[in-house]
C-alpha cells in the first residue's frame, strides 16, 4: 500500500534540532517494540517532525495495526489519531503541518475524562487545535487496543506493514507518557520553538523518550526516559545515519 523511502531523526536534550540522522534503508525500515501493560485509557505522545516539500501518502508516527491505535499524519499533512478501529475515537486535526520548519505535536488521550470533547486533545506548534476534519469522541473509559496492552508497536510503519514513511520525513524526537499528560510548556520551549529537556518528567511504566542522538544503528532506539524501554531498529545500518543541522 505504502512504501518506506526515508525516515530522518535527530535530537539533543535541552536545545534540540542539533544531531540529525537519516534512515534510508528502504521499504522495511522501522523501529519496533512490544510495550508492557500500562494505562490504556490515559497516555500522551510528543514528537517533532519536518515534512517533505510536498505530501503524498499517509504515514505512521507510532502505531499497532493500520486500524488500531495509530498516531499519524494523513496524505495532506494533518496530524491524526485513530483509537481502536476509529468508530469511537478518531481525530484529524484541521491544521496542516508546515514544510519549511520543524513541527511539534503533543497529543493527549484521556478517555476517562468526564468531558467528552476533552478525551482527545492535540497541540500543534504550541497552540491547542480547535478545528478538526474528523472528531469522534471515544466512549467513556474506552481502552486502547494495542497501546499499553503488551502488544507490538512500530515507529515508521504499522505492524501490518502499511502507512510506511514516504518521501523525506524528518523526526527529531518522540516521547511517550504512560498515565501522564504533560503540559505543552513541559515539552516545548515557546521562546525557541525547540524541544525541552524531558529529564525528570513522569513517563509512567511503559513510557519512553527517543532522542536519536547516538549516531549509530546500535543506539538508534535508545530510551532516555530512565525506564530502559529501548526500541529495536530493523534494516538500519550505520551508513543510514547522517548528521545534519537544520
> pLDDT tens, 158-214?
776 656 655 567 777 899 999 999 999 999 998 888 889 999 999 999 999 998 777
Where are any strands of DSSP class E within 183-246? 188-189, 194-195, 208-210, 232-234
- pLDDT above 60: residue 69: yes
How far apart CA 196 and CA 106 sit, in angstroms, is 13
Q: What pLDDT does residue 8 have?
A: 39
Q: What pLDDT does residue 41 have?
A: 96
**Best CA proximity match to 60, nearest among 93, 82, 39, 43:** 82
Top-confidence residue, 205 or 26: 205
Q: In sequence order, which residues have a C-beta less than 8 Å from that of residue 20 and are 6 or more positions away?
A: 8, 9, 10, 170, 172, 242, 243, 244, 245, 246
Q: What pLDDT does residue 94 have?
A: 87
- Indicate the pLDDT class of residue 123, thresholds 50, 70 and 90: very high
- pLDDT above 50: residue 154: yes
> pLDDT tens, 12-23?
333 444 444 544
Q: What is the DSSP letter of 95?
A: P
User: What is the average pLDDT across 142-166?
Assistant: 79
How far apart CA 220 and CA 234 sit, in angstroms, is 10
| Side-chain half-sphere CA neighbours of 158 within 13 A | 23
Q: What pTM, to 2 d.p., does this model score?
A: 0.87
> pLDDT tens, 88-100?
778 888 888 888 8
Residues found in the chain: 246
Q: In sequence order, which residues have a C-beta less than 8 Å from that of residue 188 and are 6 or more positions away?
A: 46, 104, 106, 123, 126, 194, 195, 196
Q: What pLDDT does residue 202 have?
A: 97
Amino acid at each position: 500500500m505504502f512504501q518506506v523511502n526515508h525516515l530522518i531523526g535527530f535530537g539533543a536534550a535541552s536545545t534540540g534540532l542539533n544531531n540529525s540522522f537519516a534512515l534510508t534503508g528502504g521499504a522495511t525500515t522501522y523501529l519496533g517494540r512490544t510495550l508492557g501493560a500500562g494505562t490504556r485509557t490515559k497516555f500522551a505522545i510528543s514528537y517533532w517532525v519536518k515534512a517533505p516539500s510536498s505530501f503524498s501518502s499517509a504515514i505512521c508516527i507510532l502505531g499497532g495495526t493500520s486500524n488500531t491505535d495509530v498516531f499519524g499524519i494523513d496524505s495532506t499533512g494533518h496530524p491524526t489519531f485513530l483509537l481502536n478501529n476509529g468508530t469511537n475515537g478518531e481525530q484529524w486535526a484541521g491544521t496542516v503541518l508546515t514544510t519549511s520548519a520543524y513541527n511539534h505535536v503533543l497529543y493527549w488521550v484521556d478517555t476517562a475524562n468526564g468531558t467528552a470533547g476533552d478525551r482527545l486533545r492535540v497541540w500543534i506548534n504550541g497552540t491547542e487545535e480547535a478545528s478538526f476534519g474528523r472528531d469522534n469522541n471515544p466512549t467513556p473509559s474506552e481502552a486502547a487496543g494495542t497501546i499499553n496492552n503488551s502488544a507490538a508497536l512500530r515507529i515508521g510503519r504499522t505492524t501490518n506493514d502499511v502507512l510506511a514513511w514516504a518521501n523525506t520525513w524528518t523526526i527529531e524526537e518522540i516521547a511517550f507518557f504512560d498515565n501522564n499528560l504533560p503540559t505543552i510548556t513541559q515539552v516545548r520551549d515557546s521562546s525557541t520553538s525547540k524541544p525541552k529537556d524531558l529529564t525528570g518528567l513522569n513517563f509512567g511504566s511503559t513510557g519512553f523518550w527517543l532522542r536519536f542522538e547516538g549516531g549509530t544503528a546500535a543506539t538508534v532506539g535508545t530510551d532516555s526516559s530512565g525506564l530502559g524501554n529501548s526500541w529495536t531498529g530493523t534494516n538500519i545500518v550505520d551508513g543510514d545515519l547522517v548528521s545534519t543541522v537544520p
